[in-house]
Amino acid sequence: MTEHLEPAQHDAVSRCGYVAIVGRPNVGKSTLLNHILGQKLAITSRKPQTTRHNMLGIKTEGSVQAVYVDTPGLHQNGETALNRYMNRTAASALKDVDVVIFVVDRTRWTDEDQAVLERLQYVTGPLIVAVNKTDRIEDKAELLPHLRWLAEQLPNAEIVPISAQHGQNLETLENLVAERLPEGEHFFPEDQITDRSSRFLAAELVREKIMRQLGAEVPYQITVEIEDFKQEGHVLHIHALILVERDGQKKIIIGDKGERIKRIGQEARKDMEVLFDSKVMLNLWVKVKGGWSDDERALHSLGYQ
């Protein structure tokens, strides 16, 4: 039985550690991170594989600093170099972390969930299963047998029903994390919220808007590179290059008379102005670079390392 710490004890003991957020694609890992941090940091969309890199989200509250690691979804499609990179990236987050949060989607269970569960059998540290989107379950009687089944599969795990999108029960989840973090000095300054550069965050925001705009029209062979990022007075000038693999994809992103790329730029700029607290001038253009998503060297040069 875990001994729950009282808030007063949190104040007395400095705690800090890494918390991996893992699960199959599209279960709400990035949404969960954003709601814990209280601001948008990780990009989200309804498309699987939106998250491609591990990213730290740092939350410091009093004497407790939790360093969350948002990971790409662990998936079974390892056909391209990019897919293999994402799987390696997600799996690496399970090493040397202090707590693991396994996010699952309601009572839905897929082969990919099972594959993640099998990897977690080897995790020796504290494990929390966050059963997400429980607010969408119409018949709550369905949930209890599934929670019991999860408890049988992972007998050492704490199981917490949550809604990441609506912030339900996240305080309980955060308290469970805080209790399991080791005692120690904080790794990061109190006001730091991520390890990623502003250029990286800008590129991710552009990619998010493309993912949201295009639906299934363009597959996942797109990436964004920031070629220029400089503050001039009160204005932040950002030039972003969108790389695609084929001419047809370029035409889809640009859209009829440039309408689609204009809309992508407008939406990305709004989020950038909030994130960077500055007026932003954003220039986008699209370039074809055939086969980049299955070329290890190209991936490395584009920051997938």
Is the distance from CB of 263 to CB of 213 less than 8 angstroms?
Answer: yes
Residue at token pair 């082969």: 111
70 labeled part of a ligand binding site: yes
Antiparallel, parallel or unpaired: β 127-132 and 158-161: parallel
* 146 vs 63: CA distance, rounded Å: 36
> Annotation-wise, does 104 bind a ligand?
no
Q: How far apart are CA 125 and CA 30, in angstroms?
A: 22
Confirm or deny that 140 is annotated as ligand binding.
no
DSSP designation for 293: G
Is there a binding annotation on residue 47? no
132 is in an annotated binding site: yes
Closest C-alpha among 54, 47, 30 to residue 221: 47
**Greatest extent of the chain over all pairs of C-alpha atoms, in Å:** 63
Q: Is 30 annotated as a binding residue?
A: yes
Answer yes or no: is 26 a known binding residue. Answer: yes
Rounded to the nearest 5°, which phi and psi values hold at 5? -85, 140
Annotated ligand binding at 62? The verdict is no
74: annotated binding-site residue? yes
Is 48 annotated as contributing to ligand binding? no
24 known ligand binder: yes
Binding residues: 23-30, 70-74, 132-135
Binding residues for GTP: 23-30, 70-74, 132-135
